[in-house]
Structure 1
Amino acid sequence: MTESKKQTVYISGVTGFIAQHIAKSLLESKNFKVIGSVRDSAKASSLVSNLNNNPDFEIDVIENIAEPNAFDESFKKYGKSIDFILHTASPFTFNISDVQKDLIDPAKNGSENIFKAAHLYATNLKHFVVTSSFAAIVDRKIAGDPSTIFNEKSWNPNTLEDGLKSPASGYTYSKTVAEQTIWSLAEKLNVGFGVTAVNPVLVLGPQAFDSNATKTLNTSCEFVRKLMQTKFGENIPDGLTGAAVDVRDVAKAHIMPLLDSQKFDKKRLFMTESPFSNQIILDSLNKVTGLQGQIAAGTPHKDDNLGNTFAKQDNTETKKLLGFEFTPVEKSVMDTAVQILKVQKEL
């Protein structure tokens, strides 16, 4: 494909765990140009380097996507050249003093800002994909009930009042209201482009680039790294349990709507593969050369039936739409470990 025919994808929050995989895949295809928004250009320098200073990659600095009209100037500049928008940026801070101000408003306003700017200035836009979350699907009150089923049509029923009760509730509500804002605006503005939401559970898997495995990893992958640092015979608590999905599958789910807008328009892609727990991660890590017999074993396979102890996650419609086999969580964990070990050996 000649350069003049390359389509342009705008990715908000391009330095994120999922977003880097997306940008890498798009550029490797040689069919796309990528404009990526970042809060700080200095933090994007390593990504530019990892992408070998690709001439089809450009950085766009937006310091605070929650500020009123945050994307307007950027989209005035790039608007007509943008074919697709992937809104992966998600304002979130663990140092919460005000749930409304620090969590809910930024999530809602960030989504509203980019979508309105897209409608106004990205006049040739074909498709808009928002990175949402299982948090926008799950009802925590019944999440532990094995007779419950969550699917693509399920919504977190929490109200604003519920969300204000704690940072954890505020986070799940913020993800819900952010996605609902997109769907509401799409209908209200009667947009002429397709819209898709991607709703992953906990995202595991290797970093897009080996160099990223030298520092503290994203929250989900830190679970893997910390268990890699355990000692043989060490007692390991049960810890967090839930469902996981591979980052490479989540990245692919963001890209496929760009290739067939009509097929994915108005769809929610529920990205979930299988249960995870400390024990399930340890079972996988103990199959990795260099770790087997060196780290904690826990009680092998005690969580093999973990999925039967909480609500069922049915993403049959998503898997049918996407048409590819999801990566087993065991492989996600093992690939993460192999990458970390490889980088440690090279240091």
Structure 2
Amino acid sequence: MTKVLLTGGSGFIAAHVLETLLQRGHSVVTTVRSQAKADKIHEAHPHIAKDRLETVIVPDIAVEGAFDEVVKTPGLEAVLHTASPFHFNTTNPKKDLIDPAVLGTTGILKAISRSAPSVKRVVITSSFAAILDRTKTNDPGTTYTEASWNPVAIDEVENDAVNAYRASKTLAEKAAWDYLSSASPNFDLVTVNPPMVFGPVVHYLATLDAINTSNQRFVALVQGAWKKQEQEGKGIPDSGFGLWIDVRDVALAHVLAMEKPELSGKRLFTAAGWIVNRETLDIVRKNFPELKDQLPSEEAEGGAAPPEDKRFKFDNSATAKALGFEWTKAEKTTVDTVKSLIPFLN
């Protein structure tokens, strides 16, 4: 059993990381931004003893010294840092996205160095956004691997929330690796770099209007937004670049990144493959006939995969081998996600 600090414990990925840690017998101290979220976590785990699940309030991760006190928790052996904003609702990308990501990451690493000598492994939630070069998303000659880096610079993000998010993840991860190189701390580092993350929401934390960004497409589908778009003559929404992973696989990757000594210094590019909105719609139509009235017609156009000559490639075989488990299939992820959302529709 390892005593773990998990930051951002009420987040979409972190909530699943928390469940995985507890299932595997670890002891968890998790930070949340409010007492209300802390209460919900404890209410959902009434049989977990206090010495195995503690919550600490950290209202703003970008404030200098935000994690200074919590890292002093006696006996910490590992830190899983998932807390970082993932949304595109911003009028000031640097303040709302980049600063919290970069300052939160470097701040916690410095705090661990100063006050947590027993911590030997830090795992940081990064993103495929730190791998993807947006100028090459349609380039079939580009193959992304664990060694690939987004070349974005901070001066490129003004008034572009999507690129600002990608920059925030890239700059935060680079800052972490740079810190490790320059400071030579007592701990090593692993990062987890998922693309779009789909999967069931954790009910005790979720609300339909605050669903994680990647899962918003499922909400739109089951609420009838795709059907409305078809009726307006726009067809099924575009799928974006279509690379995805199940949230439960991401959670397990975080925990294995902590548990496996041989993963020291690795970037884990967790991606199950391609999925497009047309495939998602077909899966939902097949498995949820009761939602027929909310779905686009079978004749609806759009949502298909881009042609092979208009799409990048990826190779994350090194990650799959290092982790040693099979990625969840698209049908299971889609079905489980929609099942988790249905209670919010009634």
Same fold (TM over 0.5): yes
The structure-2 alpha-carbon separation of the partners of 1:37 and 1:156, relative to structure 1 and needing over 3 Å to count, comes to same
Q: Paired residue for 1:279?
A: 278
Q: Paired residue for 2:208?
A: 215
Q: Paired residue for 2:4?
A: 9
TM-score w.r.t. the length of structure 2 is: 0.89
Q: Paired residue for 1:328?
A: 329
Q: What pairs with 1:90-129 in structure 2 (closer than 5 Å)?
A: 90-91=84-85, 94-129=88-123
Q: CA deviation at 1:230?
A: 2.6
Q: Once the two structures are aligned, what percentage of the paired residues are identical?
A: 34
The structure-2 alpha-carbon separation of the partners of 1:145 and 1:125, relative to structure 1 and needing over 3 Å to count, comes to same
Match of 2:150 among 129, 149, 156: 156
**SS in structure 1 at match of 2:200:** coil
Q: What pairs with 1:142-153 in structure 2 (closer than 5 Å)?
A: 142-153=136-147
Match of 1:27 among 12, 16, 22: 22
Asked whether the equivalents of residues 238 and 303 of structure 2 are also in contact (C-alpha less than 8 Å), the reply is no
The structure-2 alpha-carbon separation of the partners of 1:265 and 1:89, relative to structure 1 and needing over 3 Å to count, comes to same
**SS in structure 2 at match of 1:51:** coil
Query: What do residues 122-166 of structure 1 show as CA deviations (whole Å, max 9, x unaligned)?
Result: 111121000001110000001111221111100000112213352
Query: What do residues 101-120 of structure 1 show as CA deviations (whole Å, max 9, x unaligned)?
Result: 22222211110100111111
Q: Paired residue for 1:64?
A: 60
**SS in structure 2 at match of 1:237:** coil
* CA distance in structure 2 between the aligned counterparts of 1:21 and 1:104, rounded to whole angstroms: 25
Asked whether the equivalents of residues 29 and 55 of structure 2 are also in contact (C-alpha less than 8 Å), the reply is yes
**SS in structure 2 at match of 1:219:** coil
Counterpart residue type for residue 102 of structure 1: D
* CA distance in structure 1 between the aligned counterparts of 2:328 and 2:121, rounded to whole angstroms: 26
* CA distance in structure 1 between the aligned counterparts of 2:78 and 2:99, rounded to whole angstroms: 25
Q: Paired residue for 2:128?
A: 134
Q: Paired residue for 2:70?
A: 74
Counterpart residue type for residue 107 of structure 1: A
Asked whether the equivalents of residues 66 and 109 of structure 1 are also in contact (C-alpha less than 8 Å), the reply is yes
Stretches of structure 2 that go unaligned for 5 or more consecutive residues are: none
Q: Paired residue for 2:252?
A: 252
* CA distance in structure 1 between the aligned counterparts of 2:86 and 2:302, rounded to whole angstroms: 34
Counterpart residue type for residue 114 of structure 2: L
Asked whether the equivalents of residues 88 and 162 of structure 2 are also in contact (C-alpha less than 8 Å), the reply is no
TM-score w.r.t. the length of structure 1 is: 0.89
Match of 1:170 among 152, 160, 164: 164
Asked whether the equivalents of residues 228 and 291 of structure 1 are also in contact (C-alpha less than 8 Å), the reply is no
* CA distance in structure 1 between the aligned counterparts of 2:111 and 2:39, rounded to whole angstroms: 26
Counterpart residue type for residue 197 of structure 1: T
Q: What pairs with 1:195-274 in structure 2 (closer than 5 Å)?
A: 195-208=189-202, 210-212=203-205, 215-216=208-209, 217-230=211-224, 235=230, 236-242=235-241, 243-261=243-261, 263-274=262-273
Q: Paired residue for 2:315?
A: 314
Q: Paired residue for 1:3?
A: none
The structure-2 alpha-carbon separation of the partners of 1:129 and 1:38, relative to structure 1 and needing over 3 Å to count, comes to same
